[in-house]
Structure 1
Amino acid sequence: MTPEENRSPAAHEDPYALALQTGRGPVYLRFADGRRTRLPVRRWGARPTGADETLLERCRGPVLDIGCGPGRLCRALQDRGVCALGIDVAPHAVARTETRGGAALCRSVFDPLPAEGSWQTLLLVDGNIGIGGDPHALLRRCTQLIAPTGFMLVEVDQHDVEEGCTAWVEDTHGNRGPAFLWARLGTPAVHRVAESLGLSVTDQWISGRRCFVSLGRHDSHPSAVAPHAPRAQPW
């Protein structure tokens, strides 16, 4: 590698952080067994899609968007008059969310968070059910965050899959970010994990090639399409 190459931002920056900054790819989620899948960076940085709208119309504020990325859903919810906060461990993601006019904190879902036990809707989309590599632990944590009548809107894998894995983000030049634990779950697996935590699948739907479920406590009955919430911020 030449000194000039060594000074290139793409050569030493985390490819995921660089993709968030530029809004461009391609970047890939690479699994330790050699598989890879392209990350939809342009979609994350664009306006909500029709599939996203099916999520937004179900949200009841206040909403916590876990792994918010560059904040397209947070901003869209605020435009609808729904109070929403994003969290992400990537500083560039939080910065992009704030630049778009959304509210976000640089936190892990497993960190102490504002208004624990009071969130009406939690979003786990764009594969974020995989955070930490242990969906059971993640959803158990989410039950601590939602209000008694709250619910979670979760995007699941379109295939019938249940796996934990090690992964990292890489670009077309072989530059890679740090490895992390990840998971993939299809709808049947989410049903099983939810049941073990005292949660029910209250709704499930497909929009385009994306699959979603709504999870709530057995003793709660959230409305399928929630009214807009006031703008009061609980954090």
Structure 2
Amino acid sequence: MTEPSYLAAVRESYDTVADDYAALVRSPSELDPLSRSLLTAFAELVRTADRGPVADLGCGPGRVTAHMAGLGVSAFGVDVSPKMVELARSAYPDLRFSVGSMTALEIGDDTLGGVLAYYSTHHTPPELLPVVFAEFHRTLAPGGHLLLAGHVGTGEHRRPAHGYGGHPVAYVSYRLPPHQLAELLHQAGFTVTAQLVQEPDEKRNWKFASFLARKPTDEEAA
């Protein structure tokens, strides 16, 4: 498919802020206890199902990918920003990282045991989320698991002029209601098994939500 136009702005923006992003964003070990627990639970679900590796989509500088590997999961990262991928490869040379888009993944059908989309889909225009979620579903093996986490709201969007480190950026951030994200996952063929909405805290002034979902096996889908 032709690359959606919004991806150019996301790619250029994250190439620009990559170094400061890596310096400013917290590592998984510094997250709140609930967020850390969900990552651990996701890793256990993937290990138990034993359907294949985990793709960390929108992996940024690779810290969450490395965290998954530290939890005993075979994991690799994909990001639309070449600069982010460069930082990830430098920091974690034993792991695999590649440049790519969630709208057209270069991953075979039914090959993944897990898809991790950790704060990486909120720049996707809502009308294109079905395309992204369809790619998640296509690449997951039957019985595979998805962890989707990100900012939520009431349908508003933000178009900041500056990002990490004060650099100019051109992306848009969309904050959809949790029930809308859950419904889109359902429409893509997922079974949502858990949903957690967390209120703003001293470090984040917006709501954020996490969804654990599963691609049904062929027997369950029949």
- TM-score clears 0.5: yes
* Residue type of the alignment partner of 2:144: G
Instruction: Summarize deviations over 1:77-106 as a string: whole Å, max 9, x none.
Output: 112221001100111211121122132101
Q: 1:84 to 1:169 in 2, by over 3 A?
A: farther
Deviation at 1:215, TM superposition (A): 1.9
Partner SS state of residue 114, structure 1? coil
Paired position in structure 1 for 2:114? 121
- Say if 1:132 and 1:66 are closer, same or farther in 2 by CA, change over 3 A: farther
Q: Which protein has the bigger helix share?
A: 2
Closer/same/farther in 2, CA of residues 117 and 175 from structure 1, 3 Å limit: same
**Shift in Å, 1:216:** 2.1
**CA-CA distance at 1:183 after TM superposition:** 3.3
Aligned residues: CA RMSD: 3.2
Q: Does 2:218 match 1:212?
A: no
Report the structure, 1 or 2, having the larger strand content. Answer: 1
Larger Rg: 1
Any idea what SS the aligned residue of 1:70 has? coil
Q: Does 1:140 align with 2:131?
A: no
- Gaps spanning 5+ residues in structure 2: where? 1-11, 47-51, 201-207
Indicate the SS of the match to 1:108. coil
Q: 1:15 to 1:131 in 2, by over 3 A?
A: closer
Q: Is the 8 A contact 1:66 1:124 kept in 2?
A: yes
Answer yes or no: is the 8 Å Cα contact 1:65–1:86 preserved in 2: yes
CA distance 1:136–1:129, change in 2 (3 Å): farther
Query: Cα distance, 1:192 vs. partner?
Result: 1.8
Residues 48 and 81 (structure 1 numbering): CA distance in 2 closer, same or farther, change over 3 Å? farther
Judge which range, 14-23 or 64-73, deviates more: 14-23
Work out whether residues 151 and 175 of structure 2, in 8 Å CA contact, stay in contact via their aligned partners in 1: yes
Any idea what the Cα deviations from partners look like across 1:47-79, whole Å, max 9, x if unmatched? 452314422331215111110111111111112
Number of residues of Structure 1 aligned to a counterpart in Structure 2:
190
For 1:170, the equivalent position in structure 2 comes to 162
**1:79 correspondence with 2:85:** no
Structure 1: 5+ residue stretches without partners = 1-13, 26-40, 222-235
Partner of 2:96: 103
Superposed CA offset, 1:92-138 (max 9, x none):
21112112213210111233423432111111111425435421221
Structure 2 CA distance for partners of 1:148 and 1:67, relative to 1, 3 Å: same
